[in-house]
Amino acid sequence: MAVTLKYPFVKIEAPPEYRGVPHINPRLCIGCGACVNACPADALLRIDDYEKGTRKIVLDVGRCIRCARCDEACPTGAIRMTRNFEVATLDRKDHVEVVELRLHRCPNCGSYTDYTERALEKALQILPEGLFDGDEIRKRAILCRNCRRKLTVDDAVEASREVVE
């Protein structure tokens, strides 16, 4: 009675608790970068291109140490540890996953913000209905940082003017 298996000629299934190779579901990822900040091994990178207006979240399984910090950090459950453990390949590129997302463009000045369209969408979605100045927040949220600051200053100036008048 042998206890070894004829691996790799028989398939082996990892247990349900297994922390295998992480994988990003590109449909769920909003490009928030939380996973990038959490990753101890720099297996995840965030690459922004403000010219083209894109953000790439790059996962390099070859650097990954399977710690599952990204899995814990991700707000949408886009990056998940799978039960796959077989990563041998002849092509190093097989180890790399890229999710490309569009950066949000400020409707006011037309420059790209440092968050993605999806992240914004998601943020607006989870904004509770009937919030006190909900509309105001919605109005500001879509602006880039500069325009938002300007709007805030303008508003303040206007408000103080009103007070003065």
User: Where along the sequence are the contacts to other proteins (CB under 8 A)?
Assistant: 1-6, 14-15, 17-19, 38-42, 65-69, 81, 90-91
Of these partners, other proteins, ligand SF4, none, which one is at the site of residue 29 (CB under 5 to 8 Å by kind)? Answer: ligand SF4
Q: Which does 147 bind (CB under 5 to 8 A by kind): other proteins, ligand SF4, none?
A: none
Using CB under 6 A, count the residues that bind ligand SF4.
28
Q: Does 66 bind ligand SF4 (CB under 6 A)?
A: yes
Closer residue to other proteins, CB minimum distance, 47 or 156: 47
Q: Which residues pair with 79 in a beta bridge?
A: 24
Q: Which does 31 bind (CB under 5 to 8 A by kind): other proteins, ligand SF4, none?
A: ligand SF4
For the chain, the three-class secondary structure string (H helix, E strand, C coil) is CCCCCCCCCCCCCCCCCCCCCEEECCCCCCCCCHHHHHCCCCCEEEEEECCCCEEEEEEECCCCCCCCHHHHHCCCCCEEECCCCCCCCCCHHHHEEEEEEEEEECCCCCCEEEEEHHHHHHHHHHCCCCCCCHHHHHHHHCCCHHHHHHHHHHHHHHHHHHHHC
Q: How far is the CB of 65 from other proteins (least distance, A)?
A: 6
Nearer to other proteins, 20 or 53 (CB): 20
Positions touching ligand SF4 (CB under 6 A) are 22, 24, 29-35, 38-39, 41, 43-44, 57, 59, 64-70, 73-74, 76, 78-79
